[in-house]
Chain A
Amino acid sequence: MKQKVQEELIYINKTMKIPYKWRTGEVWGEFFRELKENGVIYANQCPTCGRQFCLPKSVCTRDHTVCTDRSKWIPVGPKGTVVTYFMAEQSFLLPTTGEMLKIPFAVGIILLDGATVILQHQLEETDESKIKTFMRVEAVIKPKAERKGNIFDIVHFKTITE
C-alpha cells in the first residue's frame, strides 16, 4: 500500500475511561486497616516455608499454604533496604489518573526489616546520584487523621543513615 499524505487521513480519537471497583480481599483489607488505624506495616507468614510477605499474600506461591492466620502477622519495618530501584526521568501517562507522571520519580524495590518478600514504593530522594542499592530507607507514614486505608498512607520512603 502506498504512503498517502498524512493530513488527509481520518483518525478516530477516543480516550478510554472504564470504571472499576476492585476488591482487596481479606488479607490486603487487613493490611490497610492496620496501616490506617495504627500506622503499622504488617507482613504475614507462610506456615510452611516461613517466608514473611510484605506485601502480604493470602496464599504462599511456593507451598500453596494459606497465610491468613492473624496470629502469625508481624509488624515489619518501618526501616528497610533498597534492593534495587528505578528513577524515571521521562514523563509518561499514568493509567490510574490519566495525568502525566511528575518527574523525577524514583521507586525502590524495598525489603523491609523483618520481611522476606519485597514491596515497591516511591523514594523521597530524586537525585539519582544519591540513590544507591542497599541504602537504608524508612517509611514516612501520614498522620492518623489523614490516613485513608490505602497504599498512600505510606507517603514514601526517606533515606536514612545507619
Chain B
Amino acid sequence: MAGRVGIVAASTTKFEAAKPYEHLMDLVVEVTDKVVEAAGINLKDDVEAVVSCSQDFWDGRTISSMPIPDAVCSHLKDESKVAGDGAYAVLYGAMHILSGDNKLILVVSHCEESITDGNMIENWSIDHIYHRWLGLDYTMGAAMQARRYMDKYKVTPEQFAKVVVKNKGNARKNKLAQEAMDLTIDQVLKSKMLADPITALQKKPVSDGACAMILASEEVARKLTPNPVWITGIGNFYEHHNLGDRDLAECDALIKSAKRAYKMAGINNPVKDLDLVELSEYYAPQELLWTEGLGLCGRGEGGKLIDSGKTQLKGEIPVNPSGGLLSGAPVTVAGMARVAEAVWQLQGKAGEHQVQGAKRAVAHGCDGLAGQMHCVLVLEKGGK
C-alpha cells in the first residue's frame, strides 16, 4: 500500500429503539457536524468527497442517498453510495485515499429500522426463486445457524446466553448504548422464544441511528490530530447465498477476510497481537462463531472461549467492550459503528468502557442471511 489511511475522528448518534422526531437526514447532519468538529475541519472547504452508506429497502426510497448532498454540503462534489454494511463504506473510503484521488473524505451511514418491518425487508433479500417463499428472515437463519453450530461443535444455549450477559452488561458503561441491562443466563434463556434456540434477548434490538467518520491520507491525518488511527489491514469476502452451498456452522468468508486483513497488518497471533475486537453479532450465537472466524480461538471453540472469560471487558482479548450490536445499532450503520468504537478505544476516548493501553483493534461488519458477507478491518493506534 502506498501510504497509510488514517481515521481522524468518528461520531455516532445515540442509538435508540426509535427516533420519531428525526428525519433520516437530521441524523446525518448530527453525526456529520459532530465528526467535523471533532476533526477540527471545515465541512465545505476541506472535505473533498463523501461516501455515504444506506439501504434503499430500509429507507423506503430508491437511491436512498438522494437527500445526502443537502445534509453533508456535497453540492458539486464527488459523492457515492455503498449499499451494504457500513464497514464496506469505510473500506471504500480507504480506497479513495489509497488511490491518491483524495486526501480527506467523509464517510457516513444512516438507518432508521423502526420506520418499517425488518422481517419483511430481510425476507426480500433472500432468493426469490426458492427460499423467499418459505418466509425466511434473518432470525430464522440465525436459528438454523445456531442449531447447526450446536450439533456440530457442541456449543450450548448457556454459552450463547453468556454473550448477551456480557454485551448488554458492557453497555452499562457506554453512554451511547441503547440497551444496557444487568442480566443472568437464566433470564436470557427464559426470554420469549423467537426461533429455537434464539430467544428475544439474543437478538439485536431494533435501532435507529447514524455514524460518520473522517478519513485522510497519512500526511493530512498527522496534521489534523496527534492520534490518528491507521487502517492497516483490509479483508472482505462473500459466502454463497444458497443455503445448500453453505455449512452454517462454518464461516469461510470470515476466515478468509480475517486472514487477508491480518496478513496485511502483520498480525500473526490475534489474541496476543490485538487488544480488542468489535464484531457484528446480530444474534448471540454469531459472536461465538465470529470469534472462531477471527482466529481468537480454534474451530469449534467459540463456546470454550466465552467460558474462559478472555473476551470479557477486563479479559485478555475483550470482544465488544462497547456492548456490540446486542446493545443496539441499526443494520447498515452497525459495521461502521464498530469501527467508530474501535477508533475511540485506540484514541483513548472510550470513557468508562476503555480498554487500557489499546494499540491494535479489529472492527468487523457483516450483513445478509446468517452473515453472508464479512468485512474485517485492522486498526492501529497512531501517535503516542
Chain A positions near chain B (C-beta within 8 angstroms): 12, 14, 16, 18-28, 57-59, 61-64, 66
Task: Note all chain A residues with C-beta closer than 8 A to B124.
Answer: 16, 18
- Residue of A19, A20, A64 ringed by the most chain B CB atoms within 10 A: A64
A61 and B23: CB pair below 8 A?
A: no
B26 and A26: CB pair below 8 A?
A: yes
B115 and A61: CB pair below 8 A?
A: no
Tell me the residues in window 24-69 of chain B with beta carbons closer than 8 Å to chain A beta carbons.
24-26, 29, 43-44, 57, 60, 69
B73 and A61: CB pair below 8 A?
A: yes
Specify which of B26, B29, B121 is in contact with A18 (CB 8 Å cutoff).
B121
Task: Note all chain A residues with C-beta closer than 8 A to B23.
Answer: 22-28, 58
Q: Give B68 Cβ to nearest chain A Cβ, in Å.
A: 10
Task: Note all chain B residues with C-beta closer than 8 A to A12.
Answer: 128-129, 133
- A sample of 27 cross-chain residue pairs with beta-carbon separation below 8 angstroms, ordered by A number, consists of A12-B129, A12-B133, A18-B57, A18-B117, A18-B120, A19-B120, A20-B60, A21-B115, A23-B22, A23-B24, A24-B23, A25-B21, A25-B22, A25-B25, A25-B26, A26-B21, A26-B23, A26-B26, A58-B23, A58-B25, A59-B70, A59-B73, A61-B69, A61-B73, A62-B73, A64-B44, A64-B72
A-B CB proximity, top 5 nearest: A25-B23, A64-B73, A20-B60, A61-B70, A61-B75
B116 and A21: CB pair below 8 A?
A: yes
Q: Give B188 Cβ to nearest chain A Cβ, in Å.
A: 30
Tell me if A's interface is mostly helix, strand, loop or mixed. Answer: loop
A23 and B129: CB pair below 8 A?
A: no
- Residue of B29, B57, B121, B133 ringed by the most chain A CB atoms within 10 A: B29
Specify which of B72, B112, B120 is in contact with A23 (CB 8 Å cutoff).
B112
Tell me the residues in window 160-198 of chain B with beta carbons closer than 8 Å to chain A beta carbons.
none
Task: Note all chain B residues with C-beta closer than 8 A to A63.
Answer: 44, 73
B60 and A23: CB pair below 8 A?
A: no
A57 to chain B: closest residue by CB:
B70
- Whether a CB of chain A sits under 8 angstroms from the CB of B19 is yes
Evaluate whether A20 and B116 lie within 8 angstroms (CB atoms) in the complex, with A25-B25, A59-B29, A64-B44 already known: yes
B76 to chain A: closest residue by CB:
A62
**Complex: how many Å from CA A24 to CA B20?**
9
Specify which of A20, A59, A62 is in contact with B115 (CB 8 Å cutoff).
A20
Known: A18-B124, A19-B116, A23-B22. 8 other contacts (CB 8 A): A22-B115, A23-B21, A23-B112, A23-B115, A24-B23, A27-B23, A59-B73, A64-B73
B19 to chain A: closest residue by CB:
A23
Task: Note all chain B residues with C-beta closer than 8 A to A66.
Answer: 29
**Complex: how many Å from CA A75 to CA B133?**
52
